[in-house]
Chain A
Amino acid sequence: MDELVQRFLAGDRRALARVITRVENSTLEGRDYVRALFPHSGRAHIVGITGGAGSGKSTLTGALAAELRRREKTVAIIAVDPSSPFTHGALLGDRIRMQDVTMDPGVYMRSMAGRGALGGLAPAIADVVAVVDAFGFDYIIIETIGAGQDEVEIAGTAMTTVLVNNPGTGDDIQALKAGIIEIADILVVNKADHPGADILVSQLQALLALSPADQRRPPILKTIATRGEGLGPLADAIDEHRAYLESSGQLAAHREEDARHQLLAITQQLILEEIRKATPEAVIETLTERIASRQLDPHTAAEELAARVLPRP
């Protein structure tokens, strides 16, 4: 492990790729890599790109990376695509839309399968982001799985969340609903050459005008990602948001919130692992059957299972 860490810290991209695989597989060894590399993380600006399937997230991500490279910044892209709920296989096709930047030595692009996690992300996303950050990129762009109305988890991991919208995808009531639109730090209307783009922009403006006056209003930007149009203003808006986060003290608050979330999530995972280690599969089977046949309620059954490692309250 030490040799790989040394190569990683010396800037070897293959070592980075290898470490990500181990971390992604959440093995005990993977955790040791996180332990070794976490102290080097915390420098990158983490941008989340989310929006519906087919909204142009991948193309926009590739074009944004190209714009950041023009500004002589280094960029890592983590693009998440869904895993099959049945076979656990996945087809990861985001590189297709990012061909222009994937040969650039200042860009690292990694496809990740969702592996059943909720929120358009992957189970190991926080650990993977930490090690990619430790490698020393200026920006990390996380592209989520196509998200609908409620996949808000990206805002916990990313410092700046960009929500990609398209013209012709619903009336202004859609935009009034709670959920994903509330987490957007920047609103992008992509495919802005399609009919209805200006109507969507004014609907979004009208919606934002209803927010309290002391609340930050996310900028609304038009892009045509396939032609690389509107990416300069998007990169500017990301940097402005970063500056806002720093000056308002929200960056520190965001880091703390993310740290708390990770602490509790990992602890939960560890407890579950302990329980599984201490429990023969037959015990779980029996409890499962008793719940399914209504002899036992799930809360009592779970308490019984937890009691195998936890002291009874």
Chain B
Amino acid sequence: MSTATATGKIRVLIAKPGLDGHDRGAKVVARALRDGGCEVIYTGIRQTPEMIAEAALQEDVDVVGLSILSGAHLELFPRVVEELKKRGLDDVLLFCGGIIPEEDTEALQKLGFKAIFRPGTNTQDIVKFVYDNVKK
């Protein structure tokens, strides 16, 4: 094997909180990060904030990416952040994506989201963001 075994791989959790019925966007992002060399844990749709935080803890991820379409991001994302903090996961890199209005940007940044990726984002930008921001 090459360096892949000797060095740490970036571990990313891609999660979908709430009741969104489809997850095409989340899967595209997961796939792009996989192709970018990350180890991506994907947990499927309808995750509660507790499930997301618990998965982040058990999987010891460096990054959590949340995807949402329903419009409930200002309801759900603060709860995810709270559950992460409750478990001591305050050093995880956070980003989010989906249908998120521009006017909510500031609120999400305050919560700790380092980037918001909206429809039309080049997936390579997401990969670059992860590599640029993970402290390894």
A113 to B39 Cα, complex, angstroms: 7
Which A residues from 60 to 92 make CB contacts under 8 A with B? 83-84, 87-92
Which of A26, A93, A116, A123 gathers the greatest number of chain B CB atoms within 10 Å? A93
Q: Indicate if the CB atoms of B39 and A21 lie closer than 8 Å.
A: no
Number of A interface residues in the complex (CB < 8 A): 33
Give the interface SS of chain A, mostly helix, strand, loop or mixed. Answer: mixed
The interface residues of chain A lying within 8 Å CB-to-CB of B41 are: 92-93, 95, 111
Given A89-B38, A117-B1, output 18 extra A-B contacts at Cβ < 8 Å.
A14-B60, A14-B88, A17-B59, A25-B6, A87-B35, A88-B2, A88-B9, A89-B34, A90-B39, A90-B40, A91-B34, A92-B59, A95-B55, A99-B43, A102-B51, A102-B55, A108-B58, A124-B5
Which of A91, A102, A113 gathers the greatest number of chain B CB atoms within 10 Å? A91
The interface residues of chain B lying within 8 Å CB-to-CB of A99 are: 43-44, 51
Which B residues from 9 to 60 make CB contacts under 8 A with A? 9, 11, 30-31, 33-44, 50-51, 54-55, 57-60
Q: Indicate if the CB atoms of B59 and A110 lie closer than 8 Å.
A: yes
Residues of B within 8 A of A (CB): 1-2, 4-9, 11, 30-31, 33-44, 50-51, 54-55, 57-60, 87-89
Shortest beta-carbon distance from A120 to chain B in Å: 16
13 residue pairs bridging A and B, Cβ less than 8 Å apart: A14-B89, A17-B57, A17-B59, A27-B6, A84-B34, A89-B40, A95-B41, A95-B44, A99-B44, A102-B58, A110-B59, A111-B39, A117-B1
Closest to B34 in A: A89
Is A259 close to B, CB under 8 A? no
Shortest beta-carbon distance from B95 to chain A in Å: 17
Q: Indicate if the CB atoms of B58 and A21 lie closer than 8 Å.
A: no
Is A115 close to B, CB under 8 A? yes
Which of B33, B35, B60 gathers the greatest number of chain A CB atoms within 10 Å? B60
Is A109 close to B, CB under 8 A? yes
Shortest beta-carbon distance from B106 to chain A in Å: 31
